[in-house]
Structure 1
Amino acid sequence: MSKTMKISESLIEIAKPYAEAQHRSVPKQIEHWARLGKAAEENPELSIVFIQNSILALAEEKAGMATPYSFGE
């Protein structure tokens, strides 16, 4: 389900270089920021780097790139 949303031109302009650097579209970059912001608000005790790495780990697991961790080895 796709909905149209009005996003300010200033936010779009700010997102452009970040999107290009991360090989994302501008809308995907803004979605990424929204996902990070939501997670940060829900978990104020966690650093943004930890949240970013957690999102990456979930995406890697979903893509079948996860490997089991062996404790004590």
Structure 2
Amino acid sequence: MAISIKLSDELVDQARRYGHVFQRSTPKQIEYWSRIGQIAEENPDLPYAFIKEILLADQEAKDGQLTSYEFGPNER
């Protein structure tokens, strides 16, 4: 469900700039920041880079981009 909310002009301007760089619309950039913030609050020990890698891996799994890991002879 989409709703209208008031946001500061500064936040919207920042989201527009970042969104342009990362090929996201302004609303999608704000949604991305919100998702990152929620994950960070729920997992305060995880660094930002690790959170990004988790999100990327999750999307790769949804896109069917998984590969099997082959254990070597000394790894079992």
1:56 equivalent in alignment to 2:56 = yes
Shift of residue 56 of structure 1?
Answer: 0.9
Report the counterpart of residue 45 of structure 1 in structure 2: 45
TM-score, length of structure 1 as denominator length: 0.89
Task: For 2:34 and 2:27, locate their aligned partners in 1 and report how far apart those are by CA, in whole Å.
Answer: 10
- Which residue identity is paired with 1:46? L
Aligned length: 72
Give the unaligned 5+ runs of structure 1. none
**Structure 1 residue 65: deviation in Å?**
1.3
RMSD: 1.1
Secondary structure of the residue aligned to 2:44 is coil
Greater C-alpha Rg? 2
The answer for unaligned runs of 5 or more in structure 2 is none
Q: Deviations over 1:24-59 (max 9, x none)?
A: 001100110010011011111110000011011101
Runs of 4+ in 1 over 2 A off after TM superposition: none
